[in-house]
Amino acid sequence: MSGKQDDAQNDAQNGAQDGAQDGAEFTCRMPAEGQEQDLAAAGPEELRAQVARLTEHLSHLTDIGLALSGEQNRDRLLEMIVSLARSITGADAGTLYIVDDTGRKLEFVVLQNDTMNVRLGGTSGNPVTLPPVNLYNDAGEENHANVSSHVALTREVVNIEDVYCAEGFDFTGTRRYDAGTGYRSRSMLVIPMENHEHEVIGVLQLLNAKDKKSGEVAAFSSVGLAAVQSLATQAAVALTNTQLIQGLKALLYSFMQSIAAAIDAKSPYTRGHIDRVVDLTMRIAEAVNAQEDGPFKDVRFNENELEELKLAAWMHDVGKITTPVHVVDKATKLEAIVDRIDMVATRFKLIGKALQAELLEKLLELASAGATRERMFAVTEEMERRRQELEDDLAFVVSCNKPGEFMSDERIERVRTIAARTYRDGEEEKPWLTEDEVRNLCIRKGTLTDAERKIIEDHTVVTLDMLSRLPFPKRLARVPEFAGAHHEKLDGTGYPNRIGGDQLSLQARILAVADVFEALTAKDRPYKEPMKLSQAMKIMGFMVKDKHMDPQVFDLFFASGVYKDYAQAHMSEAQLDEVPPPAPPAAPPR
């Protein structure tokens, strides 16, 4: 902003509100007699001129209606309202007030002044810092002192030829603004903006109408008044529609984020997963848009497509709202509501006590029978061997419970051998390990059984079902498709629908890369140590080689440095290391 604009903005901040007259040095210019010529007394030429002006206004208003109805950006719309009103009336300056959410104040949202070269609010980049106008005082009484609040409260149009001669309103602020800037405020037109529900949502204030020929400040004409009233009505409806659209969009995002937060809150270990996937997804999408050559040189996601992808990222795990927490958070193989390894340890301790009791019983029998010391020592040694084996077996079972231990055939066979042994619990003979414990301990990799993995995989089915029920607008219609396909693989072996190749959208491929990388590098998972950056990229390289992941998206992920930027933002220092470049990608089917 120029120095002149800075001065004007500061002066406007101190004095643009209308307040009480305080004896300015300007003199009043009273209206000239016969300023508005009576059409009845007009000659043919004047009538034709009037008709031409009215036709021009009508055409202008039609164009304005189309422009207003097509504008969805609120800032541009607010600025457009003031600019168009000034264009219709020839006003040098204009201000737009909007009723705030409380319904008790008028907030300045746009201020324009051609003479002072001032533009505040709208798309100008210069914030409006002027204080709001109160509609009511502290006692709850209506404020009719300010012309803008009076118009909002009464719905009346106020047309003043010279604010320095007007009675009934306070214009202290206006005159202070003039004194500070050298500006001369004269004619003023203030119009309420009523929407289709007959609610006043704002006030349009225009200042200093200028004669087109002479450039002199004049009163606002009746023709201009009618036109700008029509504009105000159209603008109010357009603004209300824009606010409704933005409100619905905000509601949709709030709903999506609330669901995402609820899913994250189910698990202290996955909290933040969705936020990070959204962040990484959009980083990759922006990298795609930035490409000037290569496979993505002709790909440009527009604003709606970026929003669609972002919502899909927010919603990609919405189906997990139905997934049991003990499955999502299964940190060890025997974990359910609690880790059942403690129950196994207690059982083995009971078996140890039984061995001890058996030893004492045998020693008493041998002593009663007069057995030799050597015989009694041999029995004691045998029992100690069995006790040590029991401890070794328990330590082995504990190691099998950890997800980091790969279960080879030999380890699985030992688990089954241990489980085949029995102990006596009262009159009942029981195995050392139950069938369900054996099934879980023999999981070769990770912590999930096939049944539990199916439960996890089903979250994508639930995601598709839930999102397909929502009436997304046409521009967001593919949110369910993208969100539901983030576990699909390029070779068609993913889930839930086993689609791949050219059936798999680029957006779904991007989301898949983001989801996998976040899962590999997350530092808050209970079932694994935080993975180093190089190891995560190596694993993803194998996934590319196995056609489980799009090679071109992965190559862009690496070449653009997105992986590194994300790592610095979300990974710990201990995870950050050097990553060698991946092999050149092969072109996937599209």
Say if residue 386 is in the same domain as residue 277: no
Judge contact between 285 and 482, C-beta under 8 A.
no
* pLDDT value of position 269: 60
* pLDDT value of position 5: 45
* pLDDT value of position 62: 62
Bigger pLDDT: 465 vs 267: 465
Count Cα neighbours of 209 within 13 Å in the Cβ-side half-sphere.
23
Q: Tell me the pLDDT tens digit for each residue of 205-230.
A: 999 999 878 889 999 887 667 777 77
536 CA to centre of own chain: 27
Which of 229, 245, 261 is the last residue in one of the domains? 245
Q: Where are the beta strands (DSSP E) in 442-567?
A: none
* pLDDT value of position 37: 46
Single-letter amino acid, residue 149: S
* pLDDT value of position 482: 96
Q: Tell me the pLDDT tens digit for each residue of 53-73.
A: 666 666 666 665 666 555 567
Is pLDDT at 134 greater than 80 in this prediction? yes
Residue 232 to residue 84: CA distance in whole angstroms: 10
The H-or-E segment that residue 236 falls in is helix 222-266
Residue 164 to residue 22: CA distance in whole angstroms: 10
Say if residue 412 is in the same domain as residue 494: no
Name the band, by pLDDT with cuts 50, 70 and 90, for residue 16. very low
Classify residue 468: in a domain, yes or no: no
Say if residue 121 is in the same domain as residue 236: yes
Is pLDDT at 15 greater than 50 in this prediction? no
Find the range with the poorest average confidence among 269-273, 292-296, 299-303, 413-417.
269-273
Say if residue 135 is in the same domain as residue 229: yes
Say if residue 110 is in the same domain as residue 215: yes
Considering only CA atoms, which of 527, 474, 466 is closest in space to residue 316?
Answer: 466
* pLDDT value of position 277: 95
Single-letter amino acid, residue 105: K
Find the range with the poorest average confidence among 66-70, 160-164, 465-469.
66-70
Judge contact between 528 and 404, C-beta under 8 A.
yes
Instruction: Give whichever of 66-75, 172-181, 502-511, 526-535 has the largest mean pLDDT.
Output: 502-511
Phi-psi label, residue 122: left if phi above 0, alpha if psi -120 to 50, beta otherwise: left
Q: Tell me the Cα Rg of the chain.
A: 39
Classify residue 325: in a domain, yes or no: no
Classify residue 316: in a domain, yes or no: no
Name the band, by pLDDT with cuts 50, 70 and 90, for residue 26. very low
Listed in sequence order, the residues at least 6 apart from 550 whose beta carbon sits closer than 8 Å to its beta carbon are 490, 504, 506, 509, 512, 513, 544, 588
| Phi, psi for residue 158 in degrees, rounded to 5 | -115, 120
First-residue to last-residue Cα distance in the chain: 50
Say if residue 103 is in the same domain as residue 215: yes
Say if residue 489 is in the same domain as residue 537: yes
Is pLDDT at 368 greater than 50 in this prediction? yes
Instruction: Give whichever of 65-74, 318-327, 453-462, 479-488 has the largest mean pLDDT.
Output: 479-488
What CATH number does residue 16 fall under? 3.30.450.40
Give me the residue label for tokens 């390289």: 541
Q: What is the mean pLDDT of the chain?
A: 84
**Helix/strand/coil for 528:** coil
Listed in sequence order, the residues at least 6 apart from 180 whose beta carbon sits closer than 8 Å to its beta carbon are 11, 14, 15
Q: Dihedral, CA atoms, 121, 124, 126, 129, nearest 10 degrees?
A: -10
- Specify the DSSP class assigned to residue 119: E
The percent of residues above 70 in pLDDT, for the chain, comes to 85
Classify residue 275: in a domain, yes or no: yes
9 CA to centre of own chain: 34
What average pLDDT does range 155-165 have in this prediction? 92
Is pLDDT at 260 greater than 90 in this prediction? no
Which of 398, 429, 447 is the last residue in one of the domains? 447
* pLDDT value of position 25: 40
Q: Which two tokens stand for residue 212?
A: 């087109």
Say if residue 288 is in the same domain as residue 359: no
Which of 425, 447, 469 is the last residue in one of the domains? 447
**Helix/strand/coil for 106:** strand
Say if residue 239 is in the same domain as residue 273: no
Say if residue 70 is in the same domain as residue 211: yes
Across the chain, how many H-helices and E-strands are there? Answer: 19, 10
Is pLDDT at 193 greater than 90 in this prediction? no
Domain hosting residue 273, numbered range? 269-301+477-575
Say if residue 10 is in the same domain as residue 104: yes
* pLDDT value of position 457: 87
Say if residue 230 is in the same domain as residue 295: no
Q: What share of the chain is helix, strand, coil (3-state, %, to 5)?
A: 55, 10, 35
Classify residue 498: in a domain, yes or no: yes
Judge contact between 202 and 97, C-beta under 8 A.
yes
Find the range with the poorest average confidence among 361-370, 391-400, 472-481.
361-370
Total domains in the fold of the chain: 3
What CATH number does residue 512 fall under? 1.10.3210.10
Cα-based distances in Å from 277 to 224, 281, 311, 449, 571: 54, 6, 11, 26, 13
Residue 423 to residue 400: CA distance in whole angstroms: 21
**Helix/strand/coil for 95:** strand
| Phi, psi for residue 285 in degrees, rounded to 5 | -60, -40
Q: Tell me the pLDDT tens digit for each residue of 267-286.
A: 666 668 888 999 999 999 99
Classify residue 585: in a domain, yes or no: no
- CB-based burial of residue 211 (10 Å sphere; 0-12 exposed, 13-18 middle, 19+ buried)? exposed
Bigger pLDDT: 313 vs 78: 313
Is pLDDT at 22 greater than 60 in this prediction? no
Find the range with the poorest average confidence among 252-261, 285-294, 308-317.
252-261
What average pLDDT does range 539-562 have in this prediction? 95
Classify residue 105: in a domain, yes or no: yes
Classify residue 327: in a domain, yes or no: no
